Chain A
């Protein structure tokens, strides 16, 4: 009896700070956000108007679909670039080269996203480095503006996403015993069949985790899209920000937030279900 009480005391000792943190800084704020989204700004009465506004406005719907499609596109491009990189780093390079290349890929990502975006602005703006280079090489005779285009946003988002894709895939490929690849060759497999039947199935958890992370990051991105895309960026997070900061309409902003959150959680859930992966296991 005494031991049980003592044990419970220990549990409460560590459970209390945890509950304070997750409760006050995560659960309650989200409940509050959820609640606000169903409340009318003026009267304080319960309403669905905040959601109705989203579904009735063609502009909001368009921005939302645009954001979702681009987030998916960026995820796919990032995957296409990152998988070969992760494969080469883990399975082709020697130990020393692996460490060097990994460092060269990882180090840039310790720096703030703002600096990363700034670096691309330096390259891409009208008087930027690439425009200058093209003129210096005689390819064009006038300044070219590369900023504020959809393609620019894609490049910027791919850039800020690569690491979050590469690392999970490297982790899963690292655990692939090289002898499995050799066994496939030994039994008559070639590059593509080995890739299809052995390597990609083994890397699947890393691919899924990386894709989910990159998708979520892009969906919620604000800095990269607003700086590289300017007024043309049409990213849904801008709407949330505008409602909260510019129009002081918490309720509308909350509804947008809930929509964004619901969509992303739903999509991730579907992806995990379809691919049969477990997010908690991979993290």
Chain B
């Protein structure tokens, strides 16, 4: 039987439990080992255990480059954060805008536009990246031709192109999250605020946006994480050092062999994304409770 209360008597309960434990081992196990090996005093990024060390975080010697003394890694971390912040802000603005568009407005072809809006999430990242690359490449070329060399720099691979490329699909996610929340909003609350003397703008700011806040914060965290870990689209659009994000540098390092420094990077990412992930689940839960 499936009911929660009498199941422990049945032998299948043990089967269920072992299965879940195996799955959790499968999903969490490899990361756990990676985590542990970040503190192993062994160049090979593998076992055997040769004692605890923080070298892979702090060492300054050239043969043992600690993560926090590796200028390229630190620079990539900074770029990743900058990109993620820009992507988050733009995607949230677009998400709120799109939510109002799809929930409040009536216009011809709304269904079609909604379907289209889902597109960036469905198209493979490689295709999305290459299509944006070839489109912006053409724009940059014609700008250069019309206004002289350098005029199209904005549309060349680099920081802003990475941001735009990521916004193309991250905004779909924020739109979905914020739209779902706005659908639950009782519009009479806004009308009540206006009835009590607010202007429409004041009503939206003080009532509607406040209602949307848990979804906005949740979506912002998700947007940040999506941006922070994106590789496929970013790979085509990044050029110089100012657009080399953590995933890009990790990819190039992983192609040439493993170093425990990457274990250290993993630890930092696991902890920070873990916290952000927990926060976003927390906000989504708050979303459910107050809805």
User: With contacts A21-B171, A22-B117 known, is A220 near B20, CB below 8 A?
Assistant: no
Q: Is the CB of A119 within 8 A of B266?
A: yes
In angstroms, Cα B104 to Cα A279, docked, is 22
Q: Which chain B positions have C-beta within 8 A of A280?
A: 114-115, 118
Asked if A77 is at the interface (CB within 8 A of a chain B CB), the reply is no
Report Cα–Cα, A136/B49, bound state, in Å: 12
Asked if B176 CB lies within 8 Å of chain A CBs, one says yes
- The stretch that binds A, out of B51-59, B66-74, B92-100, B207-215, is B92-100
Known: A25-B120, A264-B124. A118 touches B258 (CB 8 A): yes
B75 at the interface (CB under 8 A from A): no
Stretch touching chain B among A43-51, A58-66, A200-208, A238-246: A238-246
Are A107's CB and B274's CB within 8 A?
yes
CA of A26 to CA of B127 in the docked complex: distance in angstroms? 11
**By the criterion CB–CB under 8 Å, are A111 and B270 in contact?**
yes
**A235 to B: closest C-beta gap in Å:** 10
Is B3 positioned at the interface, with any CB of A under 8 Å from its CB? yes
Q: Quick check: is A266 within 8 A (CB to CB) of the other chain?
A: no
CA A64 to CA B131, docked complex, whole Å: 20
What's the Cα separation between A113 and B130 when bound, in Å? 20
Given contacts A32-B134, A261-B127, contact A113 B24 (CB under 8 A): no
Q: Which of A18, A27, A159, A216 contacts B124 (CB 8 A)?
A: A216
Chain A residues packing against B (C-beta within 8 Å): 10-11, 14-15, 17-18, 21-22, 25-30, 32-33, 36, 81, 84-85, 88-89, 91-94, 101, 103-123, 125, 127-129, 132-133, 136, 159, 162-163, 178, 181-182, 185, 216, 219-220, 222-223, 226-227, 237, 240-241, 244-245, 250, 253-254, 257, 260-261, 264-265, 268, 279-280, 283
Residues of B participating in the A interface, judged by any CB pair closer than 8 Å: 1-4, 7, 13, 16, 19-20, 23-24, 26-28, 30-31, 33-34, 37, 44-48, 93-94, 97-98, 100-101, 104-105, 107, 113-120, 122-128, 130-138, 164-165, 167-168, 171, 176, 225, 228-229, 231-232, 235-236, 246-247, 250-251, 254-255, 258, 262-263, 265-266, 269-270, 273-274, 276-278, 281
- Contact indicator A101/B236 (Cβ below 8 Å): no
A113-B229, A181-B2, A264-B124 known; A108-B28 Cβ under 8 A: yes
| Contact between B47 and A132, CB atoms less than 8 A apart | yes
CA distance A260 to B269 in the complex (A): 32
Which residues of the other chain, B, contact A265 by a CB distance below 8 angstroms? 122
Which residues from chain B contact A132 at a C-beta distance below 8 Å?
Answer: 46-48
A26 touching B101, Cβ below 8 Å? no
Closest to B225 in A: A110
A159 x B30 contact (CB < 8 A): yes
Instruction: Determine how close the nearest CB of chain B comes to the CB of A188; give it in whole angstroms.
Output: 14
Q: Which of A11, A89, A127 contacts B46 (CB 8 A)?
A: A127
Contact B3 A178 (CB under 8 A): yes
A112 touches B250 (CB 8 A): yes
The 7 A-B pairs with the shortest beta carbon distances in the complex, nearest first, are A220-B124, A110-B277, A112-B229, A25-B168, A119-B30, A29-B135, A29-B131
